[in-house]
A and B are shown apart, each in its own frame.
Chain A
């Protein structure tokens, strides 16, 4: 399914003059938002992708303008990945949606 997903993204991009909004990392799409493995988020090296992925997995939406500074802060090491997750995960918005993270180191797929 990951291949289909990847190819769909490419097609949408092609149909949109090469542009596309942030889309979920393919490695996480088969996991539920109610039990999403933390390690998959932490495994993302690129700071911008990490913050974007945190938003779509913890809040099921794109990052808003007011939070774009988190990317910059992460790049400058003024904030840690764990802290960003903690901020989003403890938000009222996240709790209202019923999204849960799985903190186990290894999650059975």
Chain B
């Protein structure tokens, strides 16, 4: 039996984000009726759970006065009545319950009842100053119990999942944590009521959210004070109740000379009027310092609103390239982006249109389906656990292959055989490769079938996709196999637990796909394509092309191929991330998600901004140019190379504080040529870099009327031309993020003037007349 505990909804009858999530999910469990479950509420006076009639719960959802609604209770359930293998699902704000989980979970765990949790956010732990003290106290107790006893912990964003795992590391949690990201639906019914409010006819900037320090309304009010001097017709509307610990701002607001003239605070707006305010807003702003998901961003985008928000925690996962981000929460950034949209109607209309045409909110049916998957027992699939495994290569490089097979023979004892898929012309030569293990060589045309035609004309990523999908046509391919490239070499002894542990498959990731901001190669384009495809499905978004061998379950691989093969014929996508994200989102209990351990991926730390740094190195992405030597020497060399780049990243983290505090950020850099326009955002006034490195920062760019033109960001350093960063612009309006690269390879320790410019079809827009100056401080 599955038990959903909704004690807090029953007791408090409030309608915060958490309660809304629980209601949307449970509504679908009742209506779709695909699994047996009970909704239960703990009676704190009688000390017993009571089951709630499902129909009664549905009535509650639609009744006008939820506070007064009386549930129809069915049978009573004592904690002792829960049975082995039952599922206890904490879907509500359980830390507010008097039934402390430190007590309850221990009992359930001892009875082998599986505990499911949703951790909506970790605000009390990460930002205790924003938490009400009693909430903080209870949150700590209940979170400790979650770490200790949870069978599966669900998060609405990768950001919250990462925080949870990071905290686990900091506090020394040693038990295995099963986690999964399931995004919240955020579609809303736009029933526009006939309610009226005089502000609805005005041009206003809207901020919806409790007035509390974490939401940072103060910054918006300060910016608005300046804007209102320039734009006489614009108003600011703050909708939200007075929050905790915000007396200073409330007093400032209440005594503001613009209050009720240009600034309006509405603290009691019902849902239907709120929808009208969203619908009529000129621009929406949301500046929270931390969110577990960020529903207000999704809600605003649902109304095709220009949505300006802070760039932290989960915000980008929700707003992606549809929202505008204030990366450092500085005055300049907010002022200038608002100013841009207020003065540039073409930009404003293009962005609105872009949101309208492309933004798709996650939906609640999707959320429900993923939760349902997680409750079903592994979808009738199990890890097979063969003693020996096939290692399946695709290769056209004999020398690489010989070297890799030699290293595998030396370090891996569980090879059943090597299967090498290659071109017809290489088969004879490949047959001379020697190994202590059996080698089977396959002509790629035999498995490609009709896709052999024109195969050579395809790009590298698409070739890999088609060929790897075609592995399923190998009739002697085992149900579980290792998939790898001919340059994936073990650096040390590897046992089978590297791939299968605790009855689960290990899946090694190296990046968060949403954060992949390079546009230089087919591989990069593949990452961007895949991000969109996976995101549309609501799957997790990690990049698994970690350039190391990974274990594949043939049945799941076939499911993925059946579903996405055709897409991969049209767009470059990579098989690793398609497979693992599909598989993990569909069968969460079959996989351990693990940070990768590949040396030389990337081949050099300057290739992209490092997101995850391996704790240990067990495989090598082999290049002839790699540093040669013993294992220890190779690691030492790599760490030395990496160190400067990690220091660069640390410098950025440190300087972020000063960028915000002293407002040291360019708001927007605007480049215009005829009707063409490029706007760059998130560029600080100064950058620190270590000598000998490439300095890399991620910036936002917006491009108008530049479809398919060659556009690059460049810079002049002390009046000499510097490096370029290519931008991908394939439409008349593009809003995206790119890494901006500054070469410090040959620079001495000094302070340099950097003039940032944009180049369209190789021609500079401003040249040395660019007014956008930053200081580059190169240090030892």
- Mostly, the A contact residues are loop
Task: List residues of chain B with CB within 8 A of the CB of A29.
Answer: 100, 102-103, 141, 144
Task: List residues of chain B with CB within 8 A of the CB of A56.
Answer: 137
- Check if A23 sits within 8 Å of B137, measured CB to CB: yes
Task: List residues of chain B with CB within 8 A of the CB of A8.
Answer: 125, 140, 143-144, 147, 167, 171
Residue from B100, B144, B172, B173 within 8 A of A33 (CB atoms): B100
B240 at the interface (CB under 8 A from A): no
CB distance from B714 to the nearest CB of A (A): 41
A79 at the interface (CB under 8 A from B): no
Question: In the complex the two chains form, what is the Cα distance from A11 to B149 in whole Å?
Answer: 20
Closest chain A residue to B109, Cβ basis: A1
- Check if B125 sits within 8 Å of A24, measured CB to CB: no
From B128-136, B188-196, B633-641, the one touching the partner chain is B128-136
Task: List residues of chain B with CB within 8 A of the CB of A24.
Answer: 137, 141
A91 at the interface (CB under 8 A from B): no
Task: List residues of chain B with CB within 8 A of the CB of A32.
Answer: 99-100, 103-104
CB distance from B751 to the nearest CB of A (A): 34
- Check if A4 sits within 8 Å of B98, measured CB to CB: no
Provide the B31-72 mask, 1 if CB < 8 A to any CB of A, else 0: 000000000000011110000000000000000000000000
A90 at the interface (CB under 8 A from B): no
Residue from B98, B145, B167 within 8 A of A11 (CB atoms): B167
A42 at the interface (CB under 8 A from B): no
From A13-21, A43-51, A66-74, A80-88, the one touching the partner chain is A13-21
How many pairs, one residue from A and one from B, have CB atoms within 8 Å of each other in the complex? Answer: 91
CB distance from A91 to the nearest CB of B (A): 15
B451 at the interface (CB under 8 A from A): no
Task: List residues of chain B with CB within 8 A of the CB of A23.
Answer: 137, 140-141
Task: List residues of chain A with CB within 8 A of the CB of B133.
Answer: 21, 62
- Check if B102 sits within 8 Å of A5, measured CB to CB: yes
- Check if B106 sits within 8 Å of A1, measured CB to CB: yes
Task: List residues of chain A with CB within 8 A of the CB of B167.
Answer: 8, 11
* A1-B144, A3-B172, A98-B47 known; A15-B106 Cβ under 8 A: no
CB distance from A24 to the nearest CB of B (A): 6
Task: State which size class the interface on B falls in.
Answer: 35 or more
Residue from B100, B125, B173 within 8 A of A15 (CB atoms): B125
Task: List residues of chain B with CB within 8 A of the CB of A1.
Answer: 102, 106, 144-145, 148-149
Closest chain B residue to A4, Cβ basis: B144
Question: In the complex the two chains form, what is the Cα distance from A97 to B46 in whole Å?
Answer: 10
- Check if A97 sits within 8 Å of B44, measured CB to CB: yes
B170 at the interface (CB under 8 A from A): yes
- Check if B137 sits within 8 Å of A62, measured CB to CB: yes
Task: List residues of chain A with CB within 8 A of the CB of B126.
Answer: 15
CB distance from A15 to the nearest CB of B (A): 6
B403 at the interface (CB under 8 A from A): no
Closest chain B residue to A17, Cβ basis: B129
B124 at the interface (CB under 8 A from A): yes
- Check if B140 sits within 8 Å of A12, measured CB to CB: yes
Task: List residues of chain B with CB within 8 A of the CB of A9.
Answer: 140
A104 at the interface (CB under 8 A from B): no
- Check if A7 sits within 8 Å of B171, measured CB to CB: yes
CB distance from B95 to the nearest CB of A (A): 12
Closest chain A residue to B46, Cβ basis: A98
B631 at the interface (CB under 8 A from A): no
CB distance from A81 to the nearest CB of B (A): 22
Question: In the complex the two chains form, what is the Cα distance from A9 to B170 in whole Å?
Answer: 11
Question: In the complex the two chains form, what is the Cα distance from A25 to B106 in whole Å?
Answer: 17
Question: In the complex the two chains form, what is the Cα distance from A8 to B165 in whole Å?
Answer: 13
Task: List residues of chain B with CB within 8 A of the CB of A34.
Answer: 44, 47, 98-99
Task: List residues of chain A with CB within 8 A of the CB of B134.
Answer: 60-62
Of listed A5, A9, A97, residue having the most chain B CB within 10 A = A5
- Check if A20 sits within 8 Å of B128, measured CB to CB: yes
* A1-B106, A24-B137 known; A11-B170 Cβ under 8 A: yes
A30 at the interface (CB under 8 A from B): yes
Closest chain A residue to B127, Cβ basis: A15
- Check if A4 sits within 8 Å of B129, measured CB to CB: no
Task: List residues of chain B with CB within 8 A of the CB of A31.
Answer: 103
A22 at the interface (CB under 8 A from B): yes
Task: List residues of chain B with CB within 8 A of the CB of A61.
Answer: 134
* A8-B171, A12-B124 known; A97-B144 Cβ under 8 A: no
- Check if B141 sits within 8 Å of A5, measured CB to CB: yes
Question: In the complex the two chains form, what is the Cα distance from A60 to B128 in whole Å?
Answer: 19
A40 at the interface (CB under 8 A from B): no
- Which positions in B face A, CB cutoff 8 Å? 44-47, 98-100, 102-104, 106, 124-129, 133-134, 136-138, 140-141, 143-145, 147-149, 167, 170-173
- Show 6 A/B contacts (Cβ-Cβ < 8 Å), sorted by A: A1-B102, A22-B137, A24-B137, A34-B99, A62-B137, A98-B46
